[in-house]
Every structure is written in structure tokens, then in C-alpha cells.
Amino acid sequence: MSSSSESAPTATPRGALRRPAELSRSVDVSGLVDAEGGLLDRAIFTDEQIYRQEMRRIFAPSWLFLAHTDQFHRPGDFFTTWMGEDPVIVTMDKGRKIRAYLNSCRHRGARVCRADFGTTRNFTCTYHGWSFDLEGDLVSVPNKEGYPESFETSQWGLVEVPHVESYHGLIFGTWNPSPVSLRESLGDMAWYMDAMLDHDEQGTVVVGGVHKWVLEGNWKLAAEQFATDWYHVNMSHASALQVLAPAGKKPKQEIVHRSGRQYVDPNGHGAGFPVHPRNRFDAKTVHDWFDYDALRERLGEARVEGPLTNGHATVFPNFSYLPVNGSIRIWHPKGPDRMEVWAWTIVDKSMPEEVREAQRLYNLRTFGPSGVFEQDDGENWSEVQAIAGGFITNSVALNYQMGMGGEREDGRHPGRTSELYSDAAGRSFYARWRELMNTRAWHEEDRA
């Protein structure tokens, strides 16, 4: 339940007091992102005030990935995560509806659930013992008779995320009280996502748990790279490409071919996918199991020969995935110079056990926390971040000019695409970021 529209002069029970506007002064970021000219100021990776503004204007209004539907099978199953820096509980209520709550006690603010996941009947705060049911209602207050008569438990339930929707197994939530639908916000991006999520009627399930690790680096470095950057692959991942190559091949033969496309979404999403047969780096067991004729019939040739086989993508702002190994991940912001990566492996529900296991191991080897590709990427983001705080360094602009003006409708893939090697989706990612950062969010309109 949203609280921001309430406007009582004193405390509004499910929400905020009347916070002075000075606490959320905003910076005009126009001078930091020149998306049209392909230039970026590094302050967007280092500045604390900009980071706080991202929490208010990027994370609070956007649809954010929460969890996979397969994590909830019976009432009381829960998973705790973050929306920006806000802790949330995602759970199935008694009516089997997936709901999400701010994981913060209405009494003194402690988390009411400190477990990563599990099954419960109530969320009981371990500080003083207030207890909330699966519907978020406050159902037990120790020493309740000590409160004034005006105290009503119905006014002190958990703050609920007002909109939770799912798309092919992926659950998203937003704090925005009147958002466009999740499906609408995905636009043509959904066509590309279906290359991983919609192989058959049965959909996907999660194998194993959620891997979590911390990286020194701004969350956008990872999100933009998954949206736009195939350029780094041959250089950064040279040794990994050789390791994965069939024995007897020379290093030169393992260079990723440039033929492919990059989808450039007007809402800041992006997906890059090579189409050359040499660029297939999938697990053999999984590859052998797929019925490619059936996939072509269901998803179409263009999707099977492109986005399904390889590639990586970002749903703005901070959800990314890799169709080739079923990795889905979120880049949780933890300050301007830190992120926490949470990664799941998803597989087709129809896959037999040995194929699931092959995919899980393949994902671990490539994009697990110690995976041969993942390590290269994390190293790069941390490298960029490590020096970005220098005063002179910070004021030297970065280049995102590759493929300028090259986006077009290619007649094969929906929306606009560019060459595979291009910064087009990156420019679009930052154009969207700039637009949101310069737009008053709903919670500010109340104070206008």
C-alpha cells in the first residue's frame, strides 16, 4: 500500500511525515550525460548526491526485478531482496497472491525478516516483538495496553509495494503508485526476453540457490555493459574463449565474430547477440537436448539464430541476463562505488535432471562468482571505479561514440537495432537515466 498521497499535517501512519524539500534537493544531470554526442561525465559513477537522487528518481519509480515465480509454491514462502537500497520481503499470501513489503518494522525500523528465504506464518520483529501476517497486517504487539486508545494496529501494517507483476516467471515490483504496466514498460524488449523465457509452454524454473557477491564498482557499469558492450569480449575474455574452444583450435579461430545485432530500446533496455555460428558457446548437453525445429516454429528463425543462442541483455535499470546459460542477475546498488550481484540460474521446466545439472555447472564455470567470464567483467568494472575518484580523472569525459547514428529497423528484429559492436544501447540507457534523473517522481509532486 502506498502512503505518499496522504497529506495529514502530522505523522501519516503508513508513510512519511512532511519531509522538508531541502532533504531531497535535486541536481540537473543534463551536463553529465551527452547521450547524443556519446560523452559521459564520471561523476555519475562517484558522486554521493547523484547516487541519492538515483534512489529517488531511478529506483523508486522503475519496475525492479524481485524474484522468480518458482521461488514461491505455498502460502508463506518468502524471499528477501532489495529495491535500490530499500529492503523488501516478497511472499505468497494466504490467497496465493505474490506480494512485496518494505522489510522494516513500523515501530523502530528494524527488519522484520532477516532470513534470505524460507517459509513462515508471520514476520516477527526480533527487536520488540511486533508481528505481521502474510497480508502485512500488524497482528501482535507485546504490551499493547501501554499504547494510547488512538493506537490502531490496522494503521501500522507493513508498507506494501503497490504494484507487483510478473512476466514469464520474472516478478517485478515498483513503488510508483500509477505506473505503466510491466508489459508496456518492456515494449519490444519482451520479444528478446522470450528467447530465454519462452522455449515451450512450461516456462522456466530456478535451479540451485542465489549466488551473491560484492564488487567494487557503480551498478551502472555492469548494467550498461550487459545492455551494450560486445566490444570487450575478444579482449577481456580472450583466455576464457580459448579455454572453452574445442581442443586443437588456434587462438585466432576463437575470436568472436562481429556479425550480430544490438537491440536499442527507447526505455533504456538493451540486448546484444552475435549470429555467427562460431559464436556458439553453449553447453553441449543443453545444445543436444534442444529441439531446434520446435524452437524455430515457436519463436521464429530470427530469434533462434540470434537472441536465443548467445548474447546478453539488460532490462533498465538493473536486471540483466544471459540466455546461453540461463543466468539472470540483479546489480544491487550499495553506494556509488559498490554493488552486490545476485545471480540465479534458470532452466526450462521441461528439461530432464541431467540437462538442468549441465546448465547449472556450465553457468557456474562461465558466469558464476568465480566463472571465467564473470571474473574478467568484475575486474574491469572495479578497475574503472578504482581511479574514478581522482579529481582530474573524474572530470575527463568517457567515450560512448561507437556506432553513432547506426540504429535502424533491420527488417528481422523488432524495434531499432545497431551493429553488434556499438555503444547505441549504452547511449539509450544513459538517455533514459538522464530523463528519469531530471523528472520529478510522484513522491516529489506531493511537495510541489
**Does 107 engage in binding with ligand FES (CB under 6 A)?**
yes
For 14, 70, 101, 348, the CA distances from 170, given in Å and listed in that order, are: 28, 9, 17, 13
Task: Kindly state whether residue 140 participates in binding ligand FES, applying the rule CB under 6 A.
Answer: no
Q: Determine the size of the site formed for ligand FES (CB under 6 A).
A: 10
144 vs 249, beta carbon nearer ligand FES = 144
Cell triple for 101: 513489503
Per DSSP, which regions of 225-381 are E strands? 260-264, 270-274, 312-315, 319-322, 327-333, 338-348
- Shortest approach of ligand FES to residue 140 CB, angstroms? 10
Question: Where does this chain touch ligand FES (CB under 6 A) — which range of 8-16, 102-110, 204-212, 372-380?
Answer: 102-110
Instruction: For residue 129, state whether it binds ligand FES (rule: CB under 6 A).
Output: yes
Which range binds ligand FES by CB under 6 A, 127-135, 143-151, 170-178, 373-381? Answer: 127-135
Can you tell me whether residue 246 is helix, strand or coil?
coil
Toward Fe ion, which CB reaches closer, 194 or 377?
A: 377
Residue 296 binds which entry of ligand FES, Fe ion, none, with Cβ cut-offs from 5 to 8 Å by kind? none
Interface map 243-282 toward Fe ion (x if CB under 5 A): ----------------------------------------
Cα gap 336→216, rounded to integer Å: 9
CA–CA distance, 116 with 102 (Å, rounded to integer): 14
Select the residue interacting with ligand FES from 66, 90, 92, 105 (CB under 6 A).
Answer: 105
Site string for Fe ion, 106-135 (x = CB under 5 A): ------------------------------
Q: Which of residues 244-263 bind ligand FES (CB under 6 A)?
A: none
Choose from ligand FES, Fe ion, none: what does 105 bind? Cβ within 5-8 Å by kind: ligand FES
The verdict on 144 binding ligand FES (CB under 6 A) reads no
Between CA 36 and CA 282 the distance in angstroms is 36
Interface with Fe ion by CB under 5 A: which range of 37-45, 170-178, 355-363, 376-384?
376-384
Minimum separation from the CB atom of position 62 to ligand FES (A): 29
208: part of which helix (H) or strand (E)? strand 204-216
| 139 is a site residue for ligand FES (CB under 6 A) | no
Side-chain half-sphere exposure of 233, counting CA atoms within 13 A: 23
Q: Does 114 bind ligand FES (CB under 6 A)?
A: no
Which residue stretches of 62-145 are H helix?
Answer: none
- Using the minimum distance from each CB to ligand FES, give the nearer residue, 148 or 411: 148
Closer Cβ to Fe ion, 90 or 283, answer by number? 283
Contacts to ligand FES from residues 382-401, by CB under 6 A: none
Length of the chain: 448
> Using an 8 Å Cβ cutoff, are 359 and 286 in contact?
yes
Helix residue spans in 34-156 (DSSP H): 43-46, 48-54
Region of 125-133, 159-167, 248-256, 397-405 interacting with ligand FES (CB under 6 A): 125-133
In sequence order, the β-bridge partners of residue 78 are 91, 118
Smallest distance from Fe ion to CB 374, Å: 8
Q: Answer yes or no whether residue 377 interacts with Fe ion by CB under 5 A.
A: yes
Centre a 10 Å sphere on the Cβ of residue 73 and count the other Cβ atoms it contains: 10
Q: Pick from 18, 108, 212, 408 the residue near ligand FES by CB under 6 A.
A: 108
According to DSSP H, which parts of 322-414 are helical? Answer: 353-367, 372-387, 391-394
Nearer to ligand FES, 105 or 241 (CB): 105
Residue 441, C-beta contacts closer than 8 angstroms, at least 6 positions apart: 56, 57, 60, 61, 176
Please give the backbone phi and psi of residue 345, each rounded to the nearest 5 degrees, phi first. -110, 125
**Cell (9 digits) for 405:** 547514428
3-state secondary structure of 34: strand
**List of residues 6+ apart from 426 with CB closer than 8 A:** 224, 227, 228, 229, 270, 400
| Rg (alpha carbons) of the chain, rounded to whole number | 23
Q: Which of Fe ion, ligand FES, none lies near 125, with the C-beta cut-off 5 to 8 A by kind?
A: ligand FES
- 412 makes contact with ligand FES (CB under 6 A): no
Express the helix, strand and coil content of the chain in percent, nearest 5 each. 30, 25, 45
Among 18, 94, 114, 128, binds ligand FES (CB under 6 A): 128
**Per the omega criterion (within 30 degrees of 0), is the bond before 317 cis?**
yes
Binding residue for ligand FES, selected from 82, 130, 192, 331, defined by CB under 6 A: 130
Q: What's the CA gap between 413 and 272, in Å, rounded? A: 12
Please tell me whether residue 127 binds ligand FES under the rule CB under 6 A.
yes
Compare residues 11 and 294 and give the one whose CB is closer to ligand FES. Answer: 11
The neighbouring-strand residues paired with 329 are: 320, 343
What is the nearest approach in angstroms of ligand FES to the Cβ of residue 114?
A: 12
Choice between 131 and 401, CB closer to ligand FES: 131
Where on the chain is the footprint of Fe ion (CB under 5 A)? Answer: 377
Where on the chain is the footprint of ligand FES (CB under 6 A)? Answer: 105, 107-110, 125, 127-130
